[in-house]
A and B are shown apart, each in its own frame.
Chain A
Amino acid sequence: QSVLTQPPSASGAPGQTVTISCSGGSSNIGSKSVSWYQQLPGATPQLLLYNTDRRPSGVPDRFSGSKSGTSASLAISGLRSEDEADYYCASWDASLSNLLFGGGTKLTVL
């Protein structure tokens, strides 16, 4: 069972906005940086966001992030079929000295 909690699934129609949540605790999200990863079907995971809301070069600005207290969120606007993927949040846990991943959210574009 993952220590960071994500909904197992999310969906939206093309063009819509979908938000994926990631809930943790004070020793991880509450005090550490959050990153998000996208794993397209059959592919290797790729960094999507770091430091909560910063995008690596090449990531469209349709992807955005936020954090409040011990929870973080990933928002995808202007949904496109190629956004269908699994999305994972991650944060270092200072108490465990472990990197924690969320359980992953499977996004379906209807």
Chain B
Amino acid sequence: EVQLVESGGGLVQPGGSLRLSCAVSGFILSDHYVDWVRQAPGKGLEWVGRSRNKDNSYTTDYAASVKGRLTISRDDSKNSLYLQMNSLKIEDTAIYYCTRPNIVISYALDVWGQGTTVTVSS
């Protein structure tokens, strides 16, 4: 079964840092892209960033709202992806989902993790 499981969320003060993890199973991580998507309380979905696969040199893209503060990395040997979050702002408060853009279906997000909650507050 294909699964993505996020962890690492919690309460952090403005300006602080946090690292989220996404553990994948049921597929070969190096063959796949992975996206982070977030949802602020009572709000819609917001794309955060993308990590491409080995064939695409693991390149990344980020939303303008997080560029320079949030960084995606991965360790294929551990079947894990990470979202390093620095200089956190109150508006970064959200549920963070790890998702899989499936190359076969035009990169539609076919598998979602259950999400991990990040709260930025003093």
Contact = CB atoms under 8 A, between A and B. Distances in A.
A40 to B, nearest CB: 12
A90 B28 CA distance: 25
Contacts of A54: 105
Interface stretch (B12-20, B72-80, B109-117): B109-117
A88 B113 CA distance: 17
Which of the four size classes fits the interface of chain A?
Answer: 20 to 34
Contact of B112 (A2, A46, A51, A98): A46
Contacts of B50: 99
A100 interface: yes
Contacts of A35: 106, 108-109
Nearest to A106: B44
A35 B47 CA distance: 14
Interface string B96-109: 01000100011111
Contacts of A47: 108-110
22 contacts: A35-B109, A37-B109, A44-B97, A45-B97, A45-B112, A47-B108, A47-B109, A50-B105, A51-B106, A54-B105, A56-B105, A56-B110, A86-B44, A88-B44, A90-B45, A92-B107, A96-B64, A99-B35, A100-B47, A101-B44, A102-B44, A104-B44
